[in-house]
Every structure is written in C-alpha cells, then in structure tokens.
Structure 1
Amino acid sequence: MYKLPGNAGVSVFGDNSLKFYRDPVSFCQQRIEKHRSRVFQCRMLNRPTAFICSVQGMRELLCEKSNLFLKDPNDLMTNMYGDTVVTTNGEEACLLRLSLTSLFTGGCLGSSSDYITSVCERCLKDLSLSGQPECVYSAFKRLGTELVLGLFLNIRAEEQPDLFQEIMQLCTQHWHGLISAPVNLKVPLWSSGFSTALDARDKLMVIIKDKLENDTQGFVGSLGSLPLPDSTSASQHLLLFISALIPKALASLLTSFTLALSGNKQARLRAMEDPDYLRTVLLEVQRLWPPFIGGRRIADQDTTIAGFPVPKDYGAIYISHSVHRDPEVFQQPDNFLPERWSGRNAGQEHFLCSFGNGPRSCIGTKLTDVFLKEACMYLIKHYNWCLDPPSQDLEYKWLPVSRPANPPTISFTRLDLTRSDRSDTN
C-alpha cells in the first residue's frame, strides 16, 4: 500500500479551501501533475481530505465502499434542506430512497412526458422570434424552473404567473444560502445572504405545506401519501425537488449541448435522425461538462481508495471533471468524441458521476434524462444555431454550477420541417 500523496496541512493555516473554490479544475490538475497521481491529499474545510480524480477511485468511494463513507451531517445542504435522501446516512437514507424511488420511475415517469413536452414547446418556441442573440443559460434556467414547479408543485407559469414568480424569486434567494458563508445575521436595513436564504426557506415551506394539505393531484399528492419517517419529511423533500439546484443543472447541460453543436449542422441532423447518436452526444456533453464539480464524504473507518490509505475522519472528495477525463479510461479525454460511447466506452455510462454514482446516486436521473432528450430533440428539430458573435470567451467556471463564466449568446434560425427545405438551411 502506497502513502497518500500530498500533505494534509495544519489546522486553519494549512487549509486550501479558498484556493480550491477559486478554480477547482486548475487546483486538481496542478496537484495531479505534481504528485503524478489522480488520488492525493490536502486540507479542505479544515479537514485532511483525499481528492479522488480517477474512475477507479470514484467507483470505490461511491460504489464498492459506499458504506464506509458518510455524508457530512454538518454540510450546508443539511442546514438548507433538513434531513432528506441527499443528506441522511445509513438505514434512514435507504428507507427514504425506497419510499421515493417509485415517484421517479415507471408510470409516474411516463405520466410526466406530456407535461415535459408542453414546457419545452412553450419555453423554446420563440428563441428566434426577436432576431437577436439569446443568452441561452438564462432561457434554459427558466425552462428548468417551469419544469420543476409544474411537475413537483402543480404550479403552471401560464396559469398562476404571480405565484410562479414569487416562488422562483424565493428559490433563487434560498439557493444563495448554499454559496454564502453560514452566518445568520440581521441588523436594521441589512441581512446576511445566509439569513436571507433561511427566510426564503421559511416562506417556501409555508407554500409547500399548503400544497401538501390541499392538493391531492400529481407528484405532490403522491408524495403526501408515502410512508415517510415524520410529518416534516414530505415538505423537506419538496423543498429539495423545487430548489434552484435542478434548473441550474439542467441549464448547465443544455448550454453545453448547444455550444457543443453550435454551427455543426451535420451533427444536429444526425442526432435528429438517430436517437442513439443523440444519446452518445448527451453522454459526451455530461462527461466533458458535468454540471456539478463533485461531492464530499467522511471516512467512517480506516480504509483505502485506489490502493492509498484513507484514515477514519478524513474527508473524501470526488471531482467529476477530473474523473471524466481519466486517460486510463477515456482516450483523448479532452476531445468531444460522441462516438466513444458506441465504441471503446460502450456500456460504460456507469463511469460517469455527474449526478453521483452507486447506491447514493441522484434518484431523479431518469427524469433528468427524459427532460434533456425532449429539450434537445426540440432544439435540433426546430432550429439551426451558431455563436453570435462568433468569437466569445467560453472558459468555464465550475462553482457552484458549471457554465461559461461569461454567459454565451447564440442566434437561432427557425427550420422549415420539410426535409428538402431543411437540407438547404445554413
């Protein structure tokens, strides 16, 4: 067994959190090169921490040894959402997952299809109407927000515009609690970001509880009838499902998709005619530009990751961006090559960790896949598009959700859906 490369640092002064948050991708790449290892250690959140940047290490952390690594009970997610399937550990997490999984599979998933189609039609049909370039990230975030509020709370933007706007604003304020210092402070005429987020959470909970008490239809009605641990569990999970986290992740992936196929008419046409090719494009988008940088666990006992010792109480962070570019698994790891998923990497989708992996992976992954395919298919059926202006700074920022640091603008041209006309479109 090899010594874990790197240095765990000393308390407080040896902490690397700020360096990591400034540029997590460069932070990890520099240390991978320095230590010649895709597993290394440093001090993060004032705790000795193993960074996992390889497919093998990620699979051990999240799958084979998932029972040895716990979610941090002091994580900000717990402060903002309470005890949910995302934040709990052990038997409680397993029971919550069993109860909730039925809402994201089978008939429940199928019944969402018509609504997803209608949201895509309503939100995407006017992308070319103004004749001006669109800030696509904002447009896709609105699309994701309409999706989650309609699916999970039965609130349609076109039917209840005022309530929709109120909840959307509260969700944005609540989201800022995840990216603010956890300081709950109020003084006359000023509140800390964390304090504002907690206030937004309380207001959202009032709306959610009213829905649970009075709405028996759809997802909210089904959730209210599930065998959950206590009376607050349903409302806490609804808060999680409608949070800005999901629309931002969807907007991230859709933005990366439009950038990847910008100006590439041949690839768009092939994706429209071949569902399997569209599937490989979306896998490659997810591989290169995962919406979340990774996730964090705490070692519950002494163990190993990829042959390196990880002592009890060490943190363990998997870095999706680095895992997805592991050259041991993905040849030409920095290149956009959708064909890899029908060739060398066929059947290896489980090597991705955009939404976690293993027994604690996101329970909404299938719903996310359905939505992304529907939205992307609508775009390639109805539009050609290109960067406008053609030269833009597309360097990504990776926290809190990945997207170009300067929001890109894209011009959309509506397609005539007849084949002869479409083939002549530039």
Structure 2
Amino acid sequence: MDLFSAYLPYLVAFCLSLPLIIFVFLYKPSNTKLPPGKMGLPIIGESIEYGLAAARGNPQGFIADRMTQYSPDVFRTSLMGENMAVMCGAAGNKFLFSNENKLVKSWWPRSVYKVLYFPSPNDKDSSGAADLMMNMKSYLIEFVKPDALQQYIPVMDSMAREHIDMDWAPNREVKVFQLVQKYTFALACRLFMYIQGEENIAKIAHPFHLIVQGFMSVPIDLPGTGFNRGIKGGKMIREEIEAVIKRRRTELLEKGVSKVPDLLSRMLLSPDEKGRHLNDIEINSYMVGLLLASHDTTSSAITFTLKYLALFPDVHNKVLKEQMEIAQSKGPGELLNWSDIQKMKYTWCVARESMRLAPPAQGAFREATTDFTFAGFTIPKGWKTHWCVHSTHKNPKYFPNPEKFDPSRFEGKGPEPYTFVPFGGGPRMCVGKEYARLEILVFIHNVVTKFKLETVLENEKILFGLSALPAKGLPIRLQPHQN
C-alpha cells in the first residue's frame, strides 16, 4: 500500500499526459517543411536587426549571413510583424517574378499606404494599394511609349542645363544628392502635372520630403515621430495636388483639350483600360505614388553614378570622350534627342554598375495567395515573401570580385538573367525603367561635359532606406573644363 501510494502521483501524471504523448507522436504538423531561419522577437521579429544592418550600410550582410547559415535559396524571418520568406538568388527572383498573380500578389506594409493614403486605408491588408497601382499601368504605358519618351528628352535636357547653370556652375563644391533631388522632383512635377516655377514646386516638395521620412520609419503614430510627420506630409501634399487637379479640370472643361501632354491631363481626359474615368481621389493617389517612385530612386542612381565617376578617373575619361563626341556633333543650343541617347552605351554600363553596387531600390514584397513549394520548402498561404537586390548584386556567384567597380560587366550579353534587378522583374517590373534611363543619361551628359569631378569624402558611408543614399550628401568639387 505504501509502495502504491509512493508511485500514485507518477501514475496520475502519466495518465494525464498520455493523450499529449499520443498527439505528439501521431500528429504531423503541416509546417514541417517551412524554410529554415529564425523569427526573432515577438511582433518585432528581426526588423531591428535588418534596420541596423541597413543603417550601417550593410543590408547585404543581413541577407548573406542567413543564406550561409540556413539556405542559399530561401530563409524565414519576421519583418514588420509579418511571417516572411526571403527568396534568394537568381532562382528566387525568377520564381517570384514569374508567379505574379499566380501564386503571389503584390503586398505593401500598412504603414506605407497609411502615409501615402490609397483609397482603402481601413482594409486589413494593402491589396487596395497594390490594385490601384497596378491599374495605373494602363496610363503609364502610354506615358512611356517610345514616341512619348522622345518628346521628353529635350525637356529633360533644357531643365538639366538650367539647373546646372543655376545651382552647380556658381559653386566650387556642391552636395550632389540634394541638388539632384531638386532636379528630379522639378522634372517629375513638369512632366506629370505641368507644374513649373520654384514657388509652385516648393508647395509640393516640402510635404513630400516629410512623406519620404515617414515612409520607412517605425509605424508609431505619436507626435514628433517620423511616421506622424509622414502622415501629416501626406495630408498636406494631397491637399496641394487636389487643388492642382481642380484647376486642371476647370481648364479642360473651358478649353476642351489640354495644350500640354502631361500625365495628369491624360488621366482626366481618358478612361482607364476598363472604360472608366478615374475619380479625383484615385488620380491624387496615383500622383503621390508616381512622385515617390520617380524621385528618390532616380536621384540615388544619378548621385552614385557621379560618385563612381569622381572616384575612377579612367572611367570618367571614357565617359567624357563618349559624351563630348555627342556634344560636338550638336549645333549651338541644340538639345539632345533620341539618337544621341542611343550613343551613350558606355555611360549606361557605368550607370548600371553604379546601381549594382548602390541599388536605388532595395526590393519589394509579395503575399502568398496559396500554399506553394520552393526549393523543397513550403510557403503557407498568407505569408509574405521578399525579394531583394542584396541576394544577387554583391554575390560572387554572379559577380566575381563583387566589390570592384567594373562597368565592363555590362558589355556584351551582360549579367545572367535575374541577377541584376534594380528595376524588379515580371509583370511588376518598373514600368518607368526607360524613363529613368533617359533621365539618368541626360543629366550625366550635362554634368560630365561641363565639369571634372573630385571626391571630398572618399569613403563616405552609404545608407540604405527607401533608396541608397550617401550619408553626407556626396560633397563633390567641381573643376570646369577649359574651353
């Protein structure tokens, strides 16, 4: 009896635990093939680690470490409060780009469209934002057709000349990033909404910079936070653009047809691909999204192209030779044209190598619309996926000696498919890719043919937020060419 009493507690415990033991041995969880990785802290996940790596100028280190530790194809983590599968390498890029609207759909963090304000801010996800931007492509495709693009080149050239004469030529030293931002924003305002004049542009530029700050900040809506300023900036810029829309609508009603081929007028005059005219809220959202998409990324690409030209005199001299041949073929005051752009082959190789080392956009997110398998691992429906440039751009598997600046990588056939992805790929490849190419090449032409560039801070850190940017704005000394 005493022996039985001694073992009674263990017997009871065993009986109570038996169902759990049976469950453990017999139950086969559905997530046994989840990608390897770690989820980090509750809610926060690894967002802070990723953010710190980007702030230190080494986001590729965060990606590369996990590719080495877990899998070169895909690993799991938690970013922005979401279960995230990071797809890696050329195969990962190809898989996501090829399965758009099949296995995955575009996804944006709620904080992004709360700042930008798309028409469905109360939705549980950001599908409203993604759908809206996808519908915009019908207008953008018309905007970036070859015949349309050819019309923009003289505008880009004349504005670049004016900008450089006013803001660069009078100075011995300039901070490149801020000045390039000023140019790209003014050009976007001119071509998208036909807004001209510093005072008119400033009304939109100030709140826009607040949006950029809030776009990538921690989504805490408290007074004084970047996110709070971003939301206020979004409200301010929407009010300014709303006034522009109303004025333009009145002009179109009075005159019948717009005299300027800007994108806003096309949106007001023409129905979308479904035969429906956009309302003002939709047009407003398009314009804010377009300004964002065309501003920091192109500014970043131009800035770092100029940085590497200043760092490598031999590359600078080859670009100068190419650009001077074009300049000397022009008559007095004659602006650049489509034929001139096609001659800038080596300059474009330099720009692409700059975008490889300092990508103007870091990647994008998708949402799994169904369970699917990649590289032997299951990605559950509802999980978010992430493709990023940092799994390929500095990967020695695709780019030998990846830290070396070498424009010749892009001569001939260039890199392997899906390894160089500054503009994304698949159905959601940046529709403004060719527009960006023209803007970059026209601006580089105007700077290089006027100045020799010298770096002030040779080892200036690169910060990675929405775009790559120089920590100190890239101060550069200008030496005007002798006539």
TM range (shorter): 0.7 to 0.9
In the TM superposition, residue 248 of structure 1 has moved relative to its aligned partner by 1.7
Report the Cα distance in structure 2 between the residues aligned to 1:193 and 1:186, rounded to whole angstroms: 8
1:121 equivalent in structure 2: 161
**Match of 1:108?**
148
Q: Which residue of 1 aligns with 2:7?
A: none
- Match for 2:105 among 70, 78, 87? 70
Q: 2:217, 2:227 within 8 Å by CA — same for their partners in 1? A: no
- Which residue in the other structure is 1:221 paired with? 265
Residue 304 to residue 201, structure 1, CA distance change in 2 (3 Å): farther
Superposition map of 1:333-352 within 5 A = 333-343=402-412, 346=414, 348=416, 351-352=419-420
Map 1:242-391 → 2, pairs under 5 A: 242-243=291-292, 245-274=293-322, 275-343=344-412, 346=414, 348=416, 351-388=419-456, 391=457
Report the Cα distance in structure 2 between the residues aligned to 1:316 and 1:77, rounded to whole angstroms.
16
Unaligned runs of 5+ in 2: 1-31, 121-125, 253-257, 323-343
Asked whether the 8 Å contact 2:73–2:375 carries over to 1, the reply is no
* Count of aligned residue pairs for this structure pair: 406
How do 1:32-111 and structure 2 match up within 5 A?
32-35=67-70, 37-65=72-100, 67-72=102-107, 75-79=110-114, 80-82=116-118, 88=128, 95-111=135-151
Give the equivalent residue in structure 1 for 2:477: 411
The CA distance in 2 between the partners of 1:127 and 1:163, in whole Å, is 18
| 1:137-156 paired onto structure 2 within 5 Å | 137-156=177-196
Distance 2:393 2:424 in 1: 12
Q: Cα distance 1:89–1:348, how it changes in 2: closer, same or farther (>3 A)?
A: farther
Report SS of the residue matched to 2:78. Answer: strand
Query: What is the SS of the residue equivalent to 1:330?
Result: coil
CA deviation after TM superposition for structure 1 residue 369, in Å: 0.6
Deviation at 1:3, TM superposition (A): 5.5
The equivalent of 1:423 in structure 2 is none
**21-30 or 254-263, which moves further after superposition?**
21-30
> SS state of the match for residue 102, structure 2?
helix
CA distance in 2, matches of 1:404, 1:280: 21
Distance in 2 between residues matched to 1:12 and 1:319, nearest whole Å: 22
Whether contact under 8 Å (1:5, 1:37) holds in the other structure is no
1:18 aligns with 2:84: no
Matched, 1:176 2:213: yes
Distance 2:459 2:406 in 1: 22
| Counterpart amino acid of residue 160 in structure 2 | C
Within 2, Cα distance between the matches of 1:375 and 1:361? 23
What's the CA shift for 1:162?
Answer: 1.8
Secondary structure of the residue aligned to 2:195 is coil
Q: Distance in 1 between matches of 2:91 and 2:172?
A: 46
Q: Quick one: which amino acid aligns to residue 188 of structure 2? A: V
State the distance in 1 between where 2:163 and 2:127 align: 32
Once the two structures are overlaid, the 10-residue window that deviates more, 31-40 or 378-387, is: 31-40
Separation in 2, partners of 1:375, 1:349: 28
Name the % identity: 17
Q: Secondary structure at the match of 1:413?
A: strand
Secondary structure at 1:261's aligned position in 2?
helix
Partner of 2:36: 5
CA RMSD of aligned residues (A): 3.0
TM-score scaled to structure 2, two decimals?
Answer: 0.76
Q: Could you say which structure has the larger radius of gyration?
A: 2
CA shift for structure 1 position 97: 2.1
TM-score, scaled to structure 1: 0.85
Contact conserved, 1:70 with 1:300, CA < 8 A, in 2?
A: yes
Q: Is the 8 A contact 1:143 1:247 kept in 2?
A: no
Q: Which amino acid aligns with 1:16?
A: E
Q: Which amino acid in 1 is paired with 2:466?
A: P
| 1:380, distance to aligned residue in structure 2 (A) | 1.7
Q: 1:115 to 1:211 in 2, by over 3 A?
A: farther
| Secondary structure in 2 matching 1:32 | helix
- Is the aligned partner of 1:196 residue 2:232? yes
AA of the residue aligned to 2:441? K
Separation (CA, whole Å) in 2 of partners of 1:308 and 1:94 = 29
Change (3 A) 1:36 1:169: same
After superposition, the C-alpha distances for 1:236-289 in whole angstroms (9 at most, x for unaligned) are 21222234x522222211111111111533322322444221121111111111
Please, which runs of 5 or more residues in structure 1 have no aligned partner?
Answer: 418-426
